[in-house]
Copies of this chain bind each other. A is one copy, B any other.
Amino acid sequence: MENFDYYNPTRIVFGKDRLDELDTLVPEETRLMILYGGGSVKKFGTLDRVRQALKGRQIHEFGGIEPNPRFSTLMKAVDLVRREGVDFLLAVGGGSVMDGTKFVALAAGFCGKETDLLSGRFKPVPVKTALPVGTVVTLPATGSEMNNRAVISHGDAKIPIFSPLAFPRFSILDPTLTYTLPPAQVANGIIDTFIHTVEQYVTYPSEARFQDRTAEGILKTLVEIGSRTLDHPEDYDARANLIWCATNALNGLIGAGAPQDWTTHTIGHELTAMFGMDHGKTLAVLQPAVWTVRREQKKEKLLQYAARVWHITQGESSERIDLAIEKTRTFFESLGVSTRLSDYGMTKEKIDDVVAALEKHGMTQLSETRDLTPEISRRILETAL
């Protein structure tokens, strides 16, 4: 097992009928701002329920945080925060709203060059303070509710950032708030959770047994409940299990002490930034291709994945790996998500642009072996066509 630090101070408030607890979770005497996205939290009443729970308080609001939240949008929220002296932020929404709110919290007290706020990809965002953040989660997927990370869109790039100051103080996870989600968003969430998990698991053996078993537990749970979650939107337990898996897939637990390979997310971010593909769909397309191209260096963990998640124990190693990749692809497709780039209008000619973007953004030394060269990224994209 590798040395590691594990620290996660977010308070999780999980379950039915917990929104009323906002009144005690948000400290009294704060100047509060609620941040949200488009219309769904309005349309389905979540925003009203949040307002009701905080009745009697002075509340500012900032709506319109878009999917893949943009730097320019968020800086408008920062202006409002500064102007009104806001000192507590409450995100009501999914990953984009939570990520955007965390960014606003970090940016609010920062006096330096604004774009330095986006320099937190490999080292923490250079801020010394951050506003406290709480979240009310309406879409289980990104894990943002219990980690110190965010992904912000700027120009033609999706930029991951982190800061030890960015953990939410609390996150309310109420499965019933997800009942009204469109099926495509739920499917994307299942896939995002699945990929977060395998990116911290299908690398090379490292004697991280608890971490491996926990990762396999998340994957098996997703396979068990995937279709049920989609087919029965008001199945409380299916939604509850999806949400708690999504949170634990990216709160640091399964990756602590284990090698990691974020190839799929890295290339996927370029596809979203360049072609507007849904984040979850980029992952469903790329992961089978990553494993196909990297099957030798990941051989032992792919065989472990095949055996423990899919019960594939017979046949030559190579056949078992092929079958595990095929089972994974079939699982994604059973959720209604196509797993070929060509299904999304992508052609061989556009691959050069994606590889060029990866080089431009310095994404050439990633993966568990730090050798994701442009050539390998190209092979992955070609395999994914």
Contacts and interface: CB of A to CB of B under 8 A. Distances in A.
A383 interface: no
Contacts of A207: 237, 240-241
B18 A241 contact: no
A58 interface: no
A248 B256 CA distance: 12
B209 A256 contact: no
Highest count of chain B CB atoms <10 Å: which of A1, A2, A3, A207: A1
Task: Please indicate which of the listed interface residues A6, A212, A248 has the most CB atoms of chain B within 10 Å of its own CB.
Answer: A6
Nearest to A211: B244
Contacts of A334: none
Nearest to A207: B237
Contacts of A17: 3
Summarize A's interface: helix, strand, loop or mixed.
mixed
A344 interface: no
A14 B7 CA distance: 11
A224 interface: yes
A12 B1 contact: no
A15 B256 CA distance: 11
A282 to B, nearest CB: 25
Contacts of A261: none
A5 interface: yes
A217 to B, nearest CB: 3
A8 interface: yes
Contact of A209 (B214, B241, B253): B241
Contacts of A213: 213-214, 216-218, 220-221
Interface residues of A, number: 41
Interface string A4-23: 11111111111111100000
A105 interface: no
Nearest to A225: B209
A244 B216 contact: no
A14 B4 contact: yes
Given A1-B240, A217-B217, A210 B248 contact: yes
A214 to B, nearest CB: 5
A241 B14 contact: no
A245 interface: yes
Nearest to A1: B240
Interface string A219-248: 011001100000000000100110011001
Contacts of A63: none
Contacts of A212: 217
A3 B175 CA distance: 10
A67 interface: no
B209 A224 contact: yes
Given A207-B240, A214-B214, A244-B257, 9 more contacts: A1-B244, A3-B17, A5-B14, A6-B14, A8-B8, A9-B9, A15-B257, A209-B224, A210-B221
6 A-B pairs with the lowest CB-CB distances in the bound complex, closest first:
A213-B217, A3-B15, A207-B237, A9-B9, A6-B12, A7-B11
7 contacts: A1-B14, A1-B15, A3-B16, A209-B224, A210-B218, A213-B213, A253-B253
